[in-house]
Amino acid sequence: MEIITYLLNGFAIAFQWHNILFALIGVIIGTAVGVLPGIGPMSGVALLIPVTATMTSGMPTEAAAASSIILLAGVYYGAMYGGSTTSILINTPGESSSVVTTLDGYQMAKQGRAGAALSIAAIGSFVAGIISLIGLILLAKPLSNIALQFGPAEYFSLMLLGLCAVSGLAGKSMTKALIMTVVGLMLGTIGIDTVSGIARFTYDQPVLYGGLEFLTIAVGLFALGEVFKTILEKSDSTQPIAKIKRILPTKQDLKDSAIPITRGSLMGFFIGVLPGAGASIASFFSYITEKKFSKNPDSFGKGNIAGVAGPESANNAASGGAMIPLLTLGIPGSGTTAILMGAFIMYNVQPGPLLFDDHPDIAWGLIASMFIGNLFLLILNMPLVKVFAKVVQTPPKYLLPIIIAISFFGVYAVQYNTFDLYLLLACGFLGYLFSKHDYPVAPLVLALVLGPMMENNMRRALTISNGDWKIFITQPLSLIFIVIAVAWILVPIILKLIGRKVIVTDEG
């Protein structure tokens, strides 16, 4: 019962008053991020990294890292709750994983059942959050024990697999996704090489010696990219908002959604664990499944509560599942977890199998705080749903310039030079151009984080084998990872050739 002791210690960390506060702030901001169209979980987390770094600056490193990660993770899963609000009330998904919620959620709102839809979404998200946490607790230790056996060759192949999986599923064109991945890896090579101390691609510019700051690129590509897009393309029109009458769902509603919630949670969790798949795919699959299992599939799209309960549970469970590869293997499987990983690294904490031994306070504190955070979200979202519906109406004319100002402040506070601010603006513009033309930016950020680790493991493996490249295919585990990685790229191509439709995600 080692796990229970660890978990109790985790709760001791999570129940420290400042960590409760951090979890609360995290989930409130997360819900707001989910509600506001234009800022997704990725930009939300990226924007808050510098803010949390400042808030925790007085604490000892270990405690500061735990508190920041608690807040940032709160933003991540909080956004999954918030995303449903706009889907249901104004038929506009707040983030990409709530797209399918619009189908039945908005219909329910039209029939005057907005309150029931919102509360079922919150209840489903809560159940899913708890189920995925239990999964996380049960899988964390065994998985990290397996990962401890990995040598550099296995690690290299596993990261390759992660990158291939994300590129294989991101965006419409795999070529473009792969290009973005390679560009991310290239950007990661800029700076002084950690092994040999040789400066690469720096052209004697001192500002480049440390490499490009991951935070600047992520905030620029995601947050500023989205802001620029809205400034350029959106005309300011306000949509009518559905009225919320009764908040609590009826007994019949609860009965109808119990099974979809359970099914959605389990499915979402396992999809979330897979690299590359993520909350959007999970919610999409859940919707299809519910429609298939339903007694009257025709009622879907006309306000069937199962069409809200299933997908909303699935996207939340997926965000919990996505934490598993990050915490146990040290390899993020999506854009948002890549950014969380960047936060870990900023505090000199290496996520991965050793996390649970080296920094049990951070790992278990985070897991325990997710229980508390999910409880907060349930409490917040039921009575306060009307308040968050007001957030939807924040005029973009004030919101957009303030997001620009916050990202400038955030980057400057961490980097303290104007070069990063120019880089930030350039990345914002590129981020807009890239996503406009279907070049997914999530693989770039993921590759930028993984790049240096990948190169080091590759060189370590090759040093062990005296430069023999066969080491990557003679080690059995490494071979398995490489085969899966290649399959991930080839299978969609083959499916396309024989004329099957391939599901892609635009969330990353």
Partner 1 sequence: MSKTFDKFTGVIFLLISILFIFESLKISGSAYGSAVGPKTFPLILGVVLGLLSLRLLYETFKLKSEKEEKETFNYKRFGIIFVSAVAYVFLLEIIGYVLSTFIFLVIAFQVMEKGKLLYTLIIAAFFTFGVYAMYVQVLGGSLPRFSLF
Residues making contact with partner 1 (CB under 8 A):
54-55, 57-58, 172-173, 175-176, 178-179, 182-183, 185-186, 189, 193, 195-198, 200-201, 228, 231-233, 235-236, 395-398, 400-402, 404-405, 408-409, 412-413, 418, 421-422, 425, 429, 433, 437-439, 455, 458-459, 462-463, 466-467
For 465, phi then psi, to 5°, come to: -90, 10
Minimal distance, residue 502 CB to partner 1, in Å: 16
Q: Cβ closer to partner 1: 355 or 458? A: 458
- 92 within 8 A of 86, measured Cβ to Cβ: yes
For 192, phi then psi, to 5°, come to: -80, 130
Minimal distance, residue 409 CB to partner 1, in Å: 6
Q: Cβ closer to partner 1: 413 or 486? A: 413
Q: Cβ closer to partner 1: 206 or 395? A: 395
- 209 within 8 A of 17, measured Cβ to Cβ: no
Give the DSSP letter of residue 219: I
Minimal distance, residue 485 CB to partner 1, in Å: 14
Minimal distance, residue 180 CB to partner 1, in Å: 10
Minimal distance, residue 115 CB to partner 1, in Å: 32
Minimal distance, residue 188 CB to partner 1, in Å: 9
Q: Cβ closer to partner 1: 141 or 459? A: 459
Cα 187 to Cα 192: distance, rounded to the nearest angstrom: 12
Smallest CA-to-CA distance from 378 within 73, 29, 124, 113 is with 124
Cα 18 to Cα 12: distance, rounded to the nearest angstrom: 12
Q: Cβ closer to partner 1: 11 or 429? A: 429
For 200, phi then psi, to 5°, come to: -120, 135
Smallest CA-to-CA distance from 68 within 43, 51, 44 is with 51
Q: Cβ closer to partner 1: 138 or 464? A: 464
Minimal distance, residue 197 CB to partner 1, in Å: 7
Q: Helix, strand or coil for residue 505?
A: strand
Minimal distance, residue 33 CB to partner 1, in Å: 18
Smallest CA-to-CA distance from 47 within 76, 20, 21 is with 76
Q: Cβ closer to partner 1: 16 or 202? A: 202
Residues 6+ away with beta carbon under 8 Å from 417: 207
- 174 within 8 A of 167, measured Cβ to Cβ: yes
Cα 412 to Cα 356: distance, rounded to the nearest angstrom: 33
Minimal distance, residue 471 CB to partner 1, in Å: 11
Smallest CA-to-CA distance from 327 within 340, 314, 318 is with 340
Q: Tokens at residue 152, please?
A: 């550099």
- 150 within 8 A of 477, measured Cβ to Cβ: yes
Positive or negative, the CA dihedral 282, 288, 292, 294 is positive
Minimal distance, residue 194 CB to partner 1, in Å: 9
The owner of tokens 């065994």 is 142
Q: Cβ closer to partner 1: 26 or 373? A: 26
Smallest CA-to-CA distance from 369 within 138, 139, 47, 133 is with 133
Q: Cβ closer to partner 1: 182 or 375? A: 182
Q: Helix, strand or coil for residue 170?
A: strand
- 204 within 8 A of 464, measured Cβ to Cβ: no
Q: Cβ closer to partner 1: 50 or 320? A: 50
